[in-house]
Structure 1
Amino acid sequence: MKTKSRTEHILTALYVLAWIAFVGFLVEAGALLLSYVISCINPDGAKNLYKGFNLNSDRNMSLWYNTMSVSFLIALAVMKAYVWYYVIRILSKINMVNPFTTDVAQMLERISHLLLSAWIVAMLSGAQAHWLSKTTGDDYHGVPSGDFLFMAALVFVISQVFKRGVEIQSENDLTI
């Protein structure tokens, strides 16, 4: 009977936490979508959306502006869930004997691209919030975007390290 190493225990715990985060962000996206639909049926519902978002003034201004604001929030929640989905796939595919695989390197690179896309969506959300603040006089707060860019760069660097690890590992497999 083989006992698990400390690293394997940590990866197992991270796998469980990744599932929790994945489901949490899916629930967030669903709750935002449901509260948006309710606010379309009952305009007073826009005052207190999921997580306390108050989009009543842009709802009163135009349904289109309200739809855009909520769409950005839903898109970011879905992107975060998708990032965690890739983390789940990475943690389920990682092999402790040969950890550097092309699949893991590619998934890490996809995560970095997804985080970069989330940064773009957050920037667009912030620009729209700034414009709405100037137009309506109300205080709108966009989604913080700097974290997404930082994480995208960090994960991209890690993916490049993994790619190099794959190259070194394959070179070592070829030598006798």
Structure 2
Amino acid sequence: MEIKISTQQILNFLLILSYIIFFGVCFEAGGFICNAIYIMMTDPIPTHKFWAEFDLTSVYHYDAGHFLVMTFFMSITAIMKALIFYLIIKILHDKKLNMLQPFTKDVVRFVFSVAYLTLGIGLFSSWGAKYSAWLISLGVEMPQIQVLRLAGADVWFFMSITLFVIAQIFKRGIEIQSENELTI
């Protein structure tokens, strides 16, 4: 017995998976932001269990400004990741993907938006990793950048360039499609 999985079933599965990831990344971003605000406005004692059990006590005790900068980098990358999955959910939920005519302005706008967001994640991850390395060079004890969710800037840059190329291909596809419609 052969089981056929249709494209629509795969898209429905990806929509559900995107919702799960979106909520997870939103929860993470909210945790970073809320914990940073709580620590800055109240007692700094809980910095040893900032979020996901990693320790930012030494950064906070060294300088609260550096603590805020690190949480800013962590928060902004998490927010951009959430925005990517929001866009994925939006395009899948609104059924803007037309398999019969894939070259649409909505799809090009989507791919460009995700490309810019991945570029932003790459930039902020890179800056955050460099800032963390700089703090370490000053003698501040820091968690690894993987734990801070700032690793992999090179992968985000690679993904961004790939998406920009795909967006340009889709943009050219729209031009060809509209030229063909004019000649008929």
Q: Residue 52 of structure 1: SS of its match in structure 2?
A: coil
SS of match in other structure, 1:149: helix
2:158 equivalent to 1:157:
no
The 8 Å contact of residues 109 and 159 in structure 1, kept in 2 or not, is answered as yes
What is the correspondence of 1:52-67 to structure 2 with a 5 Å cutoff?
A: 52-67=53-68
Cα RMSD, aligned residues only: 1.9
* Residue equivalent to 2:73: 72
Matched, 1:6 2:2: no
What count of residue pairs does the alignment treat as equivalent?
173
Cα distance in 2 for partners of 1:62, 1:122 equals 21
Could you tell me which of 169, 173, 176 is aligned with 2:181?
173
1:108 partnered with 2:78: no
Q: TM-score, normalised on structure 2?
A: 0.86
User: TM-score normalised to the size of structure 1?
Assistant: 0.89
Residue type of the partner of 2:24? G
* Matching residue of 2:39: 39
The match for 1:95 is: 98
Shift of 1:104: 1.0
Letter in 2 for 1:169: Q
For residues 38 and 44 of structure 1, what CA distance do their matches in structure 2 show?
Answer: 11
CA contact (8 A) 2:18 2:85 kept: yes
> Which of the residues 131, 134, 137 maps onto 1:134?
137
- Judge which range, 67-76 or 156-165, deviates more: 156-165
Identity %: 32
Question: More helix per residue: 1 or 2?
Answer: 1
Whichever residue aligns with residue 173 of structure 1, its letter is E
Q: How far apart are the structure 1 equivalents of 2:59 and 2:140? A: 11
Q: Structure 2 counterpart of 1:11, which letter? A: L
Determine helix, strand or coil for the equivalent of 1:89.
helix
Kept after mapping to 2: 8 A contact 1:38/1:45: no
Q: By how many angstroms is 1:102 displaced? A: 1.1
Determine the C-alpha separation between the residues in 2 that align with 1:32 and 1:24.
12
Give the Å deviation of 1:65: 0.6
State the distance in 1 between where 2:38 and 2:46 align: 6
* Structure 1 unaligned blocks of 5 or more: none
